[in-house]
C-alpha cells in the first residue's frame, strides 16, 4: 500500500532485453519451489489423515448380510481358516492350549506393557497389527518380533473390507506388509479382518475376500473365546469370559490398543497364572497349527517321525514358548520390500513430526491473527478519539511553503493529472518534477502545462531513489513532500499532511493512500486492503510510535532529517521502508496524518499486481535485514528494533507465510473431517475480518458496498498475496536478486474535487 513508483530499466534497453526482464519478473524456478512446498504440505497432510483414518476410511460395519454362500464347515469350524487347492479348511486349537491374540496395536503405552507381562510370564502372543499404527510405532513391533511373538495383518486403516473394492483390499494388505517389513524386516501369512472376530461373522460379502486372501497364501485367524475387554466390564469378567470350558483349547481375543486398556493389563497376568494352574500351555497361531498337524501325524506315522515336525513346534508339552523365535508365519522381507517399507516409515515419520508441528504453528498463527485484529481495533479507536479531541494540536500551525517532489519515468498517461491536482493545492508549494530519463515525453508534457511554481529537472535514468535524492537536493524549502507520478492529491492534502511538523520531534509524516481505480474486481480488492491498512494498521503503529513505512504515494519529510540519514537508499527495493526505519533509528518521530489523502492508480491486472507486491515484500525483507542491529541498539533505534521490527516481522512476514495453513487445514477438514463445523469456523474468522473492515471503512467514511467483495477477496486475492510472500521468502532464502519493473499505467485516476474523491 505504499510503493507505486518503480525503477525502470536502463534508458537504452532494447525491446528484447526488456522482454527478457519481464519474463524474469516471476522467476520460474522459485515458483516451482513454492508450488512444490504446497504440494508437499498437502501430501503430508493427506498421509497423516490416512494414517489416522480420516482420509479414505469407511467405518461402516455390515451386520445383517446373508451367509448362504459360506460353507457350513467354515461357519462351524475352527478359528484358523486356510485354503489348499482352492478348498477351505479350518483348524482348531489343541486341547489344553491357549493362543493369546491381541488386536488393534501397536500402541506405545498399552502394547509395551502387554509385552512386559508376556515376558514376565514367559508366554508368547499373536498380535494382529494395524498398518498405520505399525508405521507410527515401528520400535514396538520390532521388540514384539524380537521377543518371539507372532504378528499378523489387521489391515492398514482398520476398515471393514466387505465394503471395499478388490483394489482397496489388496492395498490394505500390501501397505501393512510394507510397514511390517520396514519395522521388523519381515512379512507375515496371518490375517484377521476388523469387525470379524468369529467364524460366523463371515457373510456373502466378505467370503470372496477370504477366498482371495487364501489363494494368496494367508491364514485367516478368528477366535472362539472373547474376553470382551473392549467393554471394560471389570477384571473378573474379563478373566471369566476368556476362560474356555471343559479343557478345550481356545483362540482368545484381547486388545492392546484402541482405548483404555488398564483392565486388560490387570486381568492378563491373573488369567495366565490361572490357566497355567489348570495345566494349559500357551503358544502362537503357528505353534497351535503345528501341534494340530503333529497330533494328526502321530496317529498315522511312527513316533520317530514326529521329531521331523516343522520348526516352531514346542519341544515338550510343558513348554510355553516356541523354540524358534522366528515364527513359522513370518517371512524375511526381500530387499525391495524392505526398502519400500523403510521409505514408508520415513514418510510417516515426516508426517508425524510435521503435521502436529504445523497444527501448533496454526494455533499460534490463529491466536496472533485474532490478537492482531483485536489490538488494531482497540488502538485504532483510541487513535481516532485522540486525534479528534478539540484540544488536540501538533503545535503551531504550519503555513510555510513546502517542496513537492514528483519522480517520474514514462508517466505520460498520468503526469498531467498529477500536476493539475497539485496546482489546486490550498497550501503554498513548489513542485519539483524529476524526470528520470523518460522516453515518452513526460518532461515535455509537464513543461507544456504552463503551471506556476513547477520546475522540471532532468537526469539520466538512475531509478526512483536517485530521482528523489536529486529532488531533495534541489528543494528550496525545509519540508519536502514526496509522491508518485501516477498519484493525485486533493486540494487540502498538502496542508493536512504537513501540520504534524508543528511538533519539532516529528521527522516524517505518512499520508492516507487510496485506490482510485476501484471499479474493477482487482481494484475493489486492493481498495479493501488499503482502507484496512491505512485506517487500522497505521493508526496502531502510530500510537505505538513504530510506523514502519511512509508510503511512496504520499509522505512528507524534514529535508534535514532525510539528508541526515544519507537520503533515500538504493540498498533495498523498498526505499520508503528503508528511509522510515532510518529516521526512527536517528531519533525522529514518524506519524500518520489520516486526513491527508492521495489517490493512486493500483495495478489493474494480476500480473502487474504480482510484480508490485513481490517487489514490496522482498524489499521489506531487505530493509528489515539491513536494520537488524536496531534490535540490540539503545535509545530510539532500540525502541523501533524491539517494538516495531518484531511487529512487522510477525504481522507482515511470519503470520502471512503460515496463514495459508489456515486455509489448507480448513479445506482438509471440510473434505475429510467435519464439513459443517469447519465451514462455521471459517465463517467466524470471516466475520471477525468483516467487523474490522467495516470499522476501517467507517473511520475513512467509505461506502460499505465494497465489503460485499470481502468473501471473494479472502478466497482468491488473499491466496495470491500468500504466494507472493512465500515466493519472496524463497527468493531471499536462495539469495536471488530481483530487478525493478515498470508497471503499466492508464491515467484513469483523475483530479479529485474537494471532499468528493476521484472523478
User: Which residues form the catalytic set?
Assistant: 103, 255
**Distance, CA of 534 to CA of 264 (rounded, Å):** 63
Please give the grid coordinates belonging to residue 36: 512444490
Alpha carbon 135 to chain centroid, angstroms: 23
The end-to-end CA distance of the chain, in Å, is: 21
Sequence-distant (≥ 6) Cβ neighbours of residue 230 within 8 angstroms: 255, 258, 259
Identify which of 452, 533, 526, 440 has the alpha carbon closest to the alpha carbon of residue 485.
440
Task: Find the radius of gyration of the CA atoms of the chain.
Answer: 38
Helix (H, G, I), strand (E, B) or coil at 216: coil
Using DSSP bridges, classify how beta strands 487-489 and 589-600 pair: parallel, antiparallel or unpaired. antiparallel
User: Quick one: CA torsion of 655, 656, 660, 662, rounded to 10 degrees?
Assistant: 40
Which grid cell sits at 335? 530387499
**85 C-beta neighbours (distance < 10 Å), count:** 5
Give the residue among 184, 117, 118, 199 at the shortest CA–CA distance from 151: 184
Cell of 565: 540519514
Alpha helices in 533-648 (DSSP H): 538-543, 559-564, 575-585, 606-626, 635-639, 645-648
Alpha helices, DSSP H, located in 242-334 = 262-277, 285-298
Nine-digit cell string for 19: 522482454
Scanning the structure block, which residue is given the C-alpha cell 481516532? 384
Q: Which three cell numbers stand for residue 705?
A: 458496498
CA-CA distances (angstroms) from residue 143 to 87, 98, 108, 132, 191?
A: 36, 22, 11, 17, 20
> Cell for 441?
515525453
Assign 3-state DSSP to the chain and report helix, strand, coil percentages, each to 5. Answer: 50, 15, 35
Written as nine digits, the cell of 173 is 494388505
Crossing angle (nearest 10°) for helices 28-51 and 660-672: 40
β-bridge mates for residue 458, sequence order: 435
Query: Within a 10 A sphere around the Cβ of 194, how many other Cβ atoms?
Result: 19
- The rounded distance, in Å, linking the Cα atoms of 677 and 50 is 20
CA distance 82 to 79: 10
Which residues is 89 bridged to in the sheet?
Answer: 82
E strand spans, 460-572: 479-483, 487-489, 506-515, 554-558
For residue 688, what is the DSSP state? H
- What whole-number distance in Å separates Cα of residue 67 and Cα of residue 76? 12
| Nearest partner of 515 among 593, 599, 595, judged by Cα | 599
Amino acid at each position: 500500500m505504499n510503493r507505486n513508483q518503480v525503477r525502470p530499466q536502463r534508458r537504452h534497453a532494447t525491446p528484447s532485453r526488456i522482454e527478457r526482464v519481464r519474463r524474469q519478473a516471476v522467476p520460474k524456478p522459485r515458483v516451482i519451489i513454492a508450488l512444490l512446498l504446497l504440494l508437499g504440505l498437502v501430501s503430508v497432510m493427506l498421509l497423516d489423515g490416512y494414517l489416522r483414518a480420516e482420509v479414505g476410511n469407511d467405518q461402516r460395519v455390515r451386520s445383517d448380510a446373508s451367509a448362504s454362500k459360506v460353507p457350513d464347515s467354515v461357519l462351524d469350524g475352527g478359528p484358523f481358516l486356510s485354503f489348499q487347492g482352492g478348498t477351505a479348511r479350518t483348524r482348531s486349537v489343541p486341547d489344553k492350549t491357549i493362543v493369546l491374540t491381541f488386536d488393534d496395536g501397536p500402541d506405545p503405552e498399552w502394547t509395551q506393557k502387554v509385552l512386559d507381562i508376556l515376558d514376565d510370564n514367559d508366554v508368547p502372543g499373536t498380535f494382529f497389527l494395524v498398518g498405520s499404527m505399525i508405521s507410527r510405532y515401528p520400535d514396538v513391533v520390532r521388540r514384539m518380533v524380537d521377543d518371539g511373538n507372532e504378528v499378523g495383518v489387521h489391515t492398514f486403516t482398520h476398515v471393514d473390507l466387505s465394503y471395499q473394492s478388490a483394489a482397496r483390499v489388496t492395498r490394505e494388505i500390501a501397505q501393512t506388509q510394507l510397514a511390517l517389513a520396514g519395522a521388523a524386516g519381515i512379512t507375515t501369512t496371518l490375517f484377521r479382518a476388523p469387525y470379524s472376530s468369529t467364524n460366523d461373522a463371515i457373510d456373502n460379502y466378505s467370503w470372496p475376500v477370504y477366498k482371495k486372501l487364501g489363494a494368496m497364501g494367508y491364514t485367516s485367524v478368528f477366535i472362539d473365546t472373547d474376553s470382551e475387554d473392549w467393554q471394560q466390564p471389570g477384571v473378573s469378567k474379563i478373566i471369566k469370559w476368556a476362560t474356555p470350558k471343559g479343557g478345550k483349547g481356545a483362540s482368545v481375543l484381547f486388545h492392546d490398543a484402541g482405548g483404555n486398556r488398564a483392565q486388560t493389563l490387570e486381568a492378563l497376568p491373573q488369567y495366565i497364572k490361572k490357566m497355567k494352574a489348570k495345566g494349559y500351555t500357551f503358544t502362537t497361531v503357528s505353534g497351535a497349527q503345528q501341534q494340530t498337524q503333529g497330533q494328526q501325524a502321530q496317529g498315522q506315522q511312527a513316533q520317530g517321525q514326529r521329531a521331523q515336525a516343522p520348526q516352531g513346534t514346542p519341544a515338550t508339552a510343558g513348554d510355553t514358548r516356541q523354540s524358534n523365535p522366528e515364527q513359522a508365519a513370518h517371512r524375511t522381507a526381500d530387499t525391495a520390500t524392505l526398502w519400500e517399507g523403510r521409505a514408508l516409515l520415513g514418510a510417516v515419520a515426516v508426517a508425524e513430526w510435521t503435521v502436529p508441528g504445523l497444527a501448533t504453528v496454526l494455533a499460534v498463527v490463529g491466536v496472533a491473527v485474532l490478537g492482531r485484529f483485536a489490538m488494531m481495533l482497540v488502538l485504532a479507536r483510541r487513535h481516532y478519539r485522540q486525534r479528534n479531541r478539540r484540544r488536540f494540536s501538533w503545535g503551531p500551525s504550519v503555513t510555510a511553503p513546502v517542496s513537492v517532489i514528483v519522480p517520474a519515468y514514462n508517466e505520460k498517461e498520468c503526469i498531467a493529472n498529477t500536476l493539475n491536482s497539485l496546482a489546486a493545492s490550498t497550501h503554498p508549494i513548489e513542485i519539483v518534477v524529476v524526470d528520470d530519463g523518460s522516453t515518452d515525453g513526460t518532461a515535455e508534457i509537464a513543461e507544456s502545462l504552463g503551471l506556476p511554481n513547477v520546475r522540471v529537472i532532468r537526469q539520466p535514468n538512475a531509478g526512483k531513489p536517485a530521482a528523489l535524492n536529486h529532488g531533495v537536493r534541489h528543494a528550496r524549502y525545509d519540508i519536502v513532500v514526496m509522491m508518485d507520478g501516477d498519484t493525485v492529491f486533493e486540494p487540502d492534502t498538502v496542508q493536512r499532511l504537513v501540520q504534524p511538523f508543528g511538533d519539532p520531534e516529528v521527522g516524517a509524516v505518512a499520508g492516507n493512500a487510496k485506490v482510485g481505480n476501484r471499479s474493477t474486481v482487482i481494484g475493489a480488492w486492493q481498495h479493501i486492503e488499503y482502507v484496512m491498512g491505512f485506517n487500522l494498521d497505521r493508526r496502531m503503529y502510530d500510537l505505538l510510535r513504530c510506523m514502519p513505512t511512509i508510503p511512496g504515494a504520499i509522505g512528507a519529510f524534514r529535508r534535514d532529517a532525510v539528508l541526515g540519514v544519507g537520503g533515500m537508499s538504493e540498498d533495498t527495493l523498498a526505499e520508503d521502508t528503508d528511509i522510515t526505519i532510518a529516521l526512527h533509528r536517528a531519533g525522529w518521530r514518524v506519524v500518520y496524518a489520516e486526513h491527508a489523502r492521495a489517490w493512486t492508480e493500483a495495478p489493474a491486472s494480476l500480473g502487474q499486481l504480482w510484480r508490485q507486491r513481490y517487489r514490496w515484500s522482498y524489499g521489506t525483507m531487505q530493509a528489515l535485514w539491513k536494520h537488524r542491529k536496531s534490535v540490540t541498539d539503545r535509545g530510539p533505534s532500540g525502541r523501533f528494533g524491539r517494538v516495531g521490527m518484531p511487529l512487522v516481522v510477525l504481522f507482515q512476514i511470519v503470520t502471512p507465510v503460515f496463514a495459508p495453513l489456515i486455509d489448507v487445514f480448513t479445506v482438509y477438514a471440510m473434505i475429510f473431517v467435519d464439513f459443517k463445523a469447519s465451514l462455521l469456523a471459517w465463517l467466524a474468522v470471516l466475520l471477525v475480518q468483516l467487523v474490522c473492515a467495516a470499522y476501517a471503512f467507517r473511520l475513512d467514511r467509505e461506502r460499505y458496498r465494497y465489503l460485499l467483495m470481502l468473501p471473494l477477496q479472502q478466497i482468491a486475492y488473499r491466496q495470491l498475496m500468500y504466494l507472493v510472500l512465500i515466493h519472496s521468502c524463497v527468493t531471499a532464502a536462495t539469495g536471488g536478486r530481483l530487478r525493478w519493473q515498470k508497471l503499466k499505467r492508464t491515467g484513469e485516476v483523475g483530479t479529485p474535487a474537494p471532499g468528493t474523491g476521484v472523478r
